[in-house]
Structure 1
């Protein structure tokens, strides 16, 4: 068994297509297919369901992929430790970020780069559930998620970055209630664009409307924060967003904000899997992340 076979298998699981996986690995499709078949022969199991094309992984294949990811992650940690032993302050870090925290991910990236100048970063936007699954499967080293989404088993280590605040937000032309705050009942009278129901942030918003015994008029839903921001700027719809998910102040028109009262408290934090042995890079990155407190940066 060779490391290249494990890399090919992980790429095939990622792209679910032989040609795209081969292109990603910089080899021909026949070479990648042959390497996967050799791996199947060595292990004595069928990993890939195929006919003319890939149909998916077998249950045995799913277990082999999980093992391959863990093995490659362990090897990457060994390489990084060796690099730090030679005082090379670099390495690669993958971070999964839920959409409502996308705006503040840059603050984490800025801190990591300040602490580790040669660090190579890969940031992916995904739901909280996808980030946690990616951490468990070694696809992400760190994640930013709602801390109430963490399983009770204790496999994850967490550090709170901030407590989320929700606001009613609209373009300047919309007549919002006067003052700095408004109730959920008052927010329900406006036509709204919201994140879709798969998002934990939206589930929190829905529970607040339900507690207020009001039914909002939701005319537009999306899982893409950029589309929500674009719709807000048209002035046709208002929205309810966490402060961390608001457009940057220098992007387009200034927006009106009203703090929603009562405002739910949802902790957002940096998480990682607990490992008995971790690389020098992860030790340093976690130390940098734990020094962050974004409460003041997100205060209204």
Structure 2
């Protein structure tokens, strides 16, 4: 039945039979037959059918929750049996907010150095998408903000505290400043992340506390696009200090700390609150905690 449940989950996720079949690398007739067989086994209709996908029935909505839980447990069961035989191995799917991608690289590199049979898939996602992906068993863990917006029932391991810098060209009047006050940007034109990004919502909150509505020339969900806009245009941007340092190495761009050093937000690893946790997830949480401790003490560890 597990394969039929996976077909059903794919249909619910893609809301289209053709795309669902393609995601599973099977034919659409095979998919339709599998869903029909599942409905016959359960004795209820799961999907409204017409000329196209018509959504899930009320029974289908309930069945989806069970299907995700059952397939998640089955995946964990297979993983634990594989670990008993071969040690830590398999795939870890990690969804990460864009500002923390450098930390995702550090964590995955540290983890795979000790566990070479584990393969990482790293996805750039918004904080809200990460929670949805975790709830839907589509990723195994995430890296996101821990203290700004509700997370629900998850286990966490803090990695670092995010601070903010103004990114400007070397010839900007701000480039020679030791730090920049938020109120100093009142009349400046900025390039900022799109409002669906929690980093942008945090920055908007800080501006609001200073009675400022930022003037944006460019909005993007790509930090690379914002950095390129500063380098080639007449705007500035505000970024997380860590990712800004990484993206500006070797460029004629200047990072100026934003004032109010107390204004930091914790970013860390989050995993679903499921018991028992798999050995791979336990090992990932341990690695995250050790990485954070090493960073705070200024020690690089492998």
**TM-score normalised by structure 2 residue count:** 0.89
| Structure 1 range deviating more: 207-216 or 255-264 | 207-216
CA distance in 1, matches of 2:143, 2:37: 38
Partner of 1:211: 209
* Contact 1:157/1:273 (<8 A) preserved: yes
CA apart distance, 1:161? 0.6
- CA 1:88–1:46 in structure 2 vs 1: closer, same or farther (change >3 Å)? same
Partner SS state of residue 208, structure 1: helix
CA apart distance, 1:30? 0.6
Q: CA RMSD in A?
A: 2.2
* Contact 1:161/1:295 (<8 A) preserved: no
CA apart distance, 1:184? 0.6
Partner of 2:80: 81
CA distance in 2, matches of 1:37, 1:286: 40
Partner SS state of residue 268, structure 2: strand
CA apart distance, 1:242? 1.0
* Contact 1:170/1:232 (<8 A) preserved: yes
- Figure out how many residues of one structure are paired with residues of the other and give that number: 295
Partner of 2:194: 196
CA apart distance, 1:51? 1.4
Partner of 1:239: 237
1:115-130 equivalences under 5 Å are 115-130=114-129
Partner of 2:91: 92
- CA 1:200–1:152 in structure 2 vs 1: closer, same or farther (change >3 Å)? closer
**TM-score normalised by structure 1 residue count:** 0.90
Partner of 1:15: 14
Partner SS state of residue 55, structure 2: strand
1:133-282 equivalences under 5 Å are 133-149=132-148, 151=150, 155-176=153-174, 178-246=176-244, 248-249=246-247, 253-263=251-261, 264-282=263-281
1:286 partnered with 2:271: no
Partner SS state of residue 129, structure 2: helix
- CA 1:51–1:215 in structure 2 vs 1: closer, same or farther (change >3 Å)? same
Identify unmatched segments of 5+ residues in structure 2: none
